[in-house]
Amino acid sequence: MNKIPVLTVAAVTLAACLNAAAGPTTPVRDHDLTPEDTFSLTVLENLAVSPDGAHAAYTESRWGDDQKGRSSDLWVVATAGGPPRRLTFDGFGGGAVAWSPDGRWLYFMGRDRAGRSEPPRDGSAQVWRLPIEGGAPVPVTRAVKGVDAFELSPDGRALYYLVGNERTDEQWGALLGRYDDLHYGHGVTTLSEVRRLDLENWRDDVAAGASRVVSEMSLSPDGTRLAMITSPDNELIFKEGWSRVDVLDLATGAVAELTDQAWRDGHKSPYGWIDDLAWSADSRALAFAISYDGYATDIWVAEERGGSWPLQKIQRPDPWHCDGGLAWRGQTRTLCWRGESMARVQVLATEGVTGGAQGRTAELTTGDLVVASFGFDRKGSSLVAVWETPADANDLYAVGAAGRHRRLTQVNPQVDTWKLPQISHVSWTGAEGRMCWGILELPPGWAPGGSPLPTILDIHGGPTASTRIGLRHWMYGRGLMPARGYALLSPNYRGSTGYGDAFLEELIGRENDIEVKDITAGVRWLVEQGIADPARLGVMGWSNGGYLTNCLIAAEPDLFAAASSGAGVLDMVIQWGTEDTPGHVINFVRGLPWEQPDEYRKASPLYALNRVRTPTIIHVGGADPRVPAAHSRALYRALRHYLDVPVQLVEYPGEPHGLTTRRNRMAKMEWDLAWFDRYLLGKSEAAAPDGSTGP
């Protein structure tokens, strides 16, 4: 086992701190983190840079004081510096943002919840606009059931927008209509209609009839073509393997299919989903990404040549993984994208993408960053990005040459007073001698040589995902558990992104096997380093992290003293038959249940539950379509009624795959803290919201 030094937050973020704008004083870090602090964090989204690069618009998403979810409002800031200005209030402007060509107006998706019965003030999503100086938002659309997406024409004279148009199966139309309050497997589809609104005479016409479902659209810079990602149905499964890229000629109505089935036949999996459309400035090249469960995301470019659209796959330098965010830089053929490597996410630029060729790929940002979004001005000279570091939650930055940057916002000043965990990117030798990595968080003030710590594994979902080095304080354990005195290891096991395509794809056909061994090797490495107390080990995770929690307590019945299983798979046949994206299971198990019955059984922790002795708390959303509650209920039944293992099931009525309300998120955190305190620390008291305990 290799010994990796533990670096503190101060060490890993020194360069970033030198580049950031200095404040007048250095706040004292004297605040102990509590569950309530997770709801104080503001999230930045929907970044849009003005054509001249002078301003950046964005939305701030915040938790309110009530028990509902987040609400978002529109803000703008000058890229030369100065205080940001809020443009909407009361959760009015939380959607996509676009600048008018002259930079005077902002168009955005918003909701006016005035309680009227007619749009646009009935709470439906509509397109609004307002000047960047501020004022009352003016409604642009009045779609009866709201707008799904919009694109502003390059000259600013027209708005293209999507609305739903429900279609009923002709054969069974009468019965479907008569009993329209029932839920059907198929037969009722909401297709997408593209409409064009003239912003000078306000004439509203159909630009493309409702024949398919459009999940994304992008207008070419010359205003002549509309690229769309379409599928035959609005079930999620139809984006997973059946979606395609269409280009609509707005003058003639002709549609060119850029990605037919023959194109998919050469892929590692037929179950990829397409997204992230991006036109080049000359309107002759269209970039997009296709992502898979279990395999690396590919970037493709379709370039018009003589009336056809030949496709080129962009070659990514290893170990960079595409994290999305495709954008062409100014008038050039430089394609920029978010790239992930070694738990960092940077803005990458692939030069010279034309004629089937490409040049070098360079990093436009560097350091311990996790970039969430970025954008350029029209010329491509001004780069603005949103990122987080191990010491700072997300903020907006203007990026100059050689990675130099200037901070434009400070939306989470409270973080400067937090006692932060010591965050480092560590490695160990996993199964078969393979190097594995992860994010280690240690309590503030803990030093090597001190007493070993109670330790929790926090396992990421996906599994085609990763845990990154940026600051996190949320209900899944990061930030929260170190503040309570626990060491926390978030392993990036085989199957994780950012460590090369081979590392990612080695998990195919080997779930509930190599990643379990990689993770347990990481636990034992922590014990050998003198960090983890072997008698006080816990494991937790959500989604695939919940699945791996189930696998681990079955595979290693004596290793963990407590577990928290969130929305975790128990049986792969049930998962294939009930989840909304079955290609996930088919990819990893390499076939259907009747084709690979033994592989489905091997991948399922259900058949080894008789080995489990770990006290386990189980969380699940009652309306989860991704990992239905049947898995959690079956796990609870087995542990409580047949195996006599300490267990509790917490089901959140009406919640989807992630918990959406403040109350439910708080409940999960409090239950987890109480559970681990009881079984790892021997406490019998329940945790209070402020982190204290009571009788």
State pLDDT tens for residues 541-582.
999 999 999 999 999 999 999 999 999 999 999 999 999 999
Same domain, 515 and 465: yes
- Asked if residue 597 is part of any domain, the answer here is yes
In one-letter notation, the amino acid at residue 667 is A
Task: State which residues of the chain have pLDDT below 70.
Answer: 1-25, 685-695
Same domain, 524 and 613: yes
* Longest CA pairwise span in the chain (Å): 77
- Asked if residue 84 is part of any domain, the answer here is no
- Asked if residue 196 is part of any domain, the answer here is no
Same domain, 407 and 435: no
CB atoms within 10 A of CB 125: 21
* Residue ending a domain, choose from 370, 389, 411: 411
**Which CA distances in Å does 316 have to 202, 233, 273, 369, 490?**
45, 32, 19, 20, 26
Same domain, 437 and 459: yes
- Asked if residue 20 is part of any domain, the answer here is no
Same domain, 586 and 491: yes
Same domain, 460 and 592: yes
Residue 254: what are its φ and ψ, rounded to 5°?
A: -70, 140
- Asked if residue 602 is part of any domain, the answer here is yes
> How many structural domains does the chain have?
2
Q: Give residue-wise pLDDT tens across range 138-191.
A: 999 999 999 999 999 999 999 999 999 999 988 898 999 999 999 888 899 999
What span, in angstroms and rounded, lies between the C-alpha atoms of 43 and 117? 31
- Asked if residue 695 is part of any domain, the answer here is no
Same domain, 395 and 468: no
Same domain, 349 and 487: no
Same domain, 449 and 344: no
Report pLDDT for 686: 55
Nearest to 426 by CA among 485, 487, 515: 487
- 585: CB partners within 8 A, 6+ apart: 572, 575, 576, 579
In the chain, the percentage of residues whose pLDDT exceeds 90 is 87
Residue 423: what are its φ and ψ, rounded to 5°?
A: -110, 130
- 457: CB partners within 8 A, 6+ apart: 488, 489, 490, 491, 519, 522, 523, 537, 538, 539, 540, 541, 552
CB 685 within 8 A of CB 670: no
500: region left, alpha or beta (phi > 0 left; psi from -120 to 50 alpha): left
Report pLDDT for 24: 52
CB 165 within 8 A of CB 193: yes
**Which CA distances in Å does 638 have to 440, 545, 607?**
33, 20, 11
Q: Which helix (H) or strand (E) holds 407?
A: strand 405-407
In one-letter notation, the amino acid at residue 64 is G
3-state SS, residue 430: coil
Same domain, 363 and 494: no
CATH code of 510's domain: 3.40.50.1820
- Asked if residue 205 is part of any domain, the answer here is no
Q: Give residue-wise pLDDT tens across range 274-305.
A: 999 999 999 999 999 999 999 999 999 999 99
CB atoms within 10 A of CB 141: 21
Parent domain of 543: 419-681
**Which CA distances in Å does 233 have to 199, 206, 398?**
31, 20, 41
- Asked if residue 40 is part of any domain, the answer here is no
User: In which residue are the tokens 């049947």 written?
Assistant: 630
* Residue ending a domain, choose from 369, 385, 411: 411
Same domain, 444 and 347: no
Report pLDDT for 685: 60
Same domain, 572 and 447: yes
* Residue ending a domain, choose from 360, 391, 411: 411
